[in-house]
Amino acid sequence: MKTAVVTGSAGFIGARVAERWLSEGWRVVGIDCFSEYYDPRLKRDRARRLASHDAYVEIEDRIERPGLLSEVFGTYRPEVVVHLAAQAGVRYSIEAPRSYLDSNISGTFELLEAARAHPPAHMLLASTSSVYGANTEMPYAETHKADSQMSFYAATKKATEAMAHSYAHLYRLPMTMFRFFTVYGPWGRPDMALFKFVKAILEDRPIDVYNHGKMKRDFTFIDDLVEAVDALAACTPVHAVGEFDSLSPVAPFRIVNIGKSEPDSLGGFITAIEDALGRSARRNLMDMQPGDVPATWSDTRLLAALTGKCPNTPLSVGVPAFVKWYKDYYGVA
């Protein structure tokens, strides 16, 4: 039986990745601290779904606690590690930056130290499209320079990329970094736009629309993302697959975008929500929030070359799937 460690296993993405591998017969060791950044009940309910599998091991603790991850790696000897635990959110990183330092930087350091002591066959670490920051050349490619982060959240994730590369080089640890692009879908986070918009519209409240709606995002459906993570777990960074490959010249390390490579306007996103709900939104037009960017767009040639497929679920399918889950979960008629 293959063993994987998933940090952030009660999170939106972590729970879905863990569920996928449990369904494939893996043993999954999940680690989560159930922080109160958003409603812990949602996290507990995700974790309960995982606990229904006999091969699931749950550890409730903080990844930044010294020695925890080394003990977990030494006990379970995972072949694959997926590091998804992090403090997320652009706006919150302005309000509470220390939580990003603790979770994103210190937590990733503990993970790398654990891998140095007990090397997995492949480590997969989550980054974000936010690291592209002030870049204006689109679509964003993994080989583009990304040194102008616009938020402390993005800065901490860029730092984890550099940290991971150094350990990959020094200790020959195979690592793949993911840059996720606006992931959405059932069981999503309450701090994200889709969740907030659906909730507000159902409660007949106006929605806050930043930059007066002049925004574009490369919305990526959760099922597509999980499919990509699963496929990339088997793609150890050893051989380059083209001139667009981000494979390091000095380490078994690469960065891979996971996005739809087809940005949608914020207006189109809101229209898809209105169509799924059968209700109109009242828009509260606002200025751009600090640290945000007007557009994201992923170059997914590398993902396609490595896995043979890319996310392609349209908003017309993904948004109704979320709305159905939301209504079922919260008992909304």
Tens of pLDDT, residue by residue over 218-248, are 999 999 999 999 999 999 999 999 999 999 9
Q: For the chain, where are the alpha helices, taking DSSP H only?
A: 12-23, 40-51, 68-76, 92-95, 97-100, 107-117, 152-171, 193-202, 222-232, 266-277, 301-307, 315-330
Q: Which residues form the catalytic set?
A: 153
Dump pLDDT digits (tens) for 159-206.
999 999 999 999 999 999 999 999 999 999 999 999 999 999 999 999
pLDDT value at residue 289: 85
Dump pLDDT digits (tens) for 19-34.
999 999 999 999 999 9
pLDDT (mean) for 277-297: 92
pLDDT (mean) for 72-89: 97
At 230, the amino acid letter reads: D
Residue pair 288/211 in contact by the 8 Å Cβ criterion: yes
10 Å CB burial of residue 292 (0-12, 13-18, 19+) is: middle
Residue pair 288/298 in contact by the 8 Å Cβ criterion: no
Length of the chain: 333
Please say if the pLDDT value at position 293 is more than 90: no
pLDDT value at residue 89: 87
The whole-angstrom separation of Cα 256 and Cα 298 is: 10
Dump pLDDT digits (tens) for 91-101.
889 899 999 99
pLDDT value at residue 291: 79
Dump pLDDT digits (tens) for 258-269.
999 999 999 999
Residue 123: both structure tokens together: 């480590």
Please say if the pLDDT value at position 333 is more than 90: no
Please say if the pLDDT value at position 43 is more than 90: yes
Residues 6+ apart with CB under 8 A from 328: none
- Walk me through the domains of the chain, giving residue ranges and CATH numbers: 3-184+220-258 (3.40.50.720), 193-215+263-297+312-330 (3.90.25.10)
